Amino acid sequence: MGGVALLALQAIVYFGVMAALLRARRVYGVGLFVCALGVMHFLETYLAAVFFIELPFGLLSPGSTVLFSGKLMMFLLLYIREDAETVRQPIYGLFIGNLLLVVLALILRLHTTVVRLPGDAPNLQFVDQMGVLMVWGTLLLFIDCIALILLYENLARRLRRNVVLAAFLSAAAVLSFDQIAFYPALRLTSGVPFSALTGGWVAKIGAAALYSVLIGVYLRWIERDGQRRGSRGLRDVFETLTYRSRYEDLLRRSLIDELTGVRNRSAFEQMCRDWLERPAPDGQAVTLAMIDIDRFKAINDGLGHAAGDEVLRHVGRTLEANMRPGDLVFRYGGEEFALLLKGLSHNEALAFADRVRRAVASEVRAVDGGSVTVSIGVASSAFGSGNLRSLLDRADQRLYEAKRRGRDRVVGDPAPRLTIAD
């Protein structure tokens, strides 16, 4: 039992120091905590490869049992006290740092004139062995951290935020997976017997229990003053941890016009192709309405570009406010906007466009109080049958006709029969 007691003592010391660094983040930032985690990783892998003790239930390594299990639980504690945005930083930092370590170690092998100093010579074979374990262990760490947080979030919700039980169950599941996945690499590089698999698994389950209790103690008596973050959906947590939310935000921003907040021309061309060139079973009609702000150059020249920008923003907001669910608004360029409407007959689309025209005329004002009007050209196409260029050409022609007729009006196709005017 002396071996078990020593392992427990190591775990308590490890948790105590790391928890103190975590608590100190309010004063010194989270950098101390993250750096300490990173420094321990090499020792953890080294011990997992070469340092084993034997207990009644099998062989085990303190590197895996105490340090690796502890590191996972500290990631979980950081998530509990902070959020997914914070915890993903050390996860990715360790992943990249460990890969860099392996690459640099491989470059060392390219040296042909290594000086042999008195004492032990450099053991490059051991470096290779450690490299295999580091790469595989780093990949498992990445998977384990994300899986642990997702499992905890799910279980905590089901168990009514019972932190200790949720932490133990999620850690036990993830550490069991890790033990099974890491053992083949350990067997390949170090030749450890099968008892290291079973012994290490039992020890990790015990570590999960101890660390879960310590987390409960920390949250109950050490850091109970922090604001609890609200529960988040598993998909939100996963997308945050994997930076998918950043990717989607970047993609969204690339399709948004910065001045008006509506979709930009790139988004317009993409959506037109999706709506027009892909056959769809519902067969709904697609309407394109091209909108031009009347006498916009006079606003810019007479009131200044800042006033013109404000008119563009106000028109964009007005268009968005008058759309149906599923309708799309785009800034096509300059003072031109475009609407994509689905499921309207051409006459219905003309009536809808005219309501939009009247909304702009009644709601949008220039900085001098003058009214702002728009001209609109409307063209329709059967859903999934047509092409962007022909629809755009027709809508542009109708827009030009609306301008020619005196502006502040809607012209459709064919113009003589379907024009709506004041």
Q: In the CATH scheme, what is the homologous superfamily, with its name and number, of domain 255-418?
A: Reverse transcriptase/Diguanylate cyclase domain (3.30.70.270)
Give residue 20's pLDDT: 94
Distance CA 48, CA 62 (A): 7
Within the chain, how many helices (H) and strands (E) appear? 17, 7
How many residues are present in the chain?
422
Report the alpha-carbon distance of residue 364 to residue 379 in Å, rounded: 25
Low-confidence residues of the chain, pLDDT below 50?
A: 226-228, 230, 247, 279-281, 415-422
The Cβ of residue 25 has, within 10 Å, a number of other Cβ atoms equal to: 17
Give the start-to-end residue ranges of the domains of the chain: 2-110+122-247, 255-418
Q: What is the spatial distance between Cα 418 and Cα 422, in angstroms, rounded to a whole number?
A: 13
Alpha carbon of 325 to those of 131, 329, 382: distances in Å?
55, 11, 20
Give the closest residue to 175 by CA, choosing from 78, 65, 322.
65
Nearest to 380 by CA among 407, 337, 342: 342
- The reported pLDDT for the residue numbered 238 is 53
Q: pTM of this prediction?
A: 0.58
Measured between alpha carbons, how far is 184 from 133 in angstroms, rounded to an integer?
10
**What are the angstrom distances between the C-alpha of 276 and each of 243, 283, 327, 399?**
32, 11, 14, 20
| pLDDT value of residue 104 | 82
From CA 229, how far away is CA 361, in angstroms rounded? 46
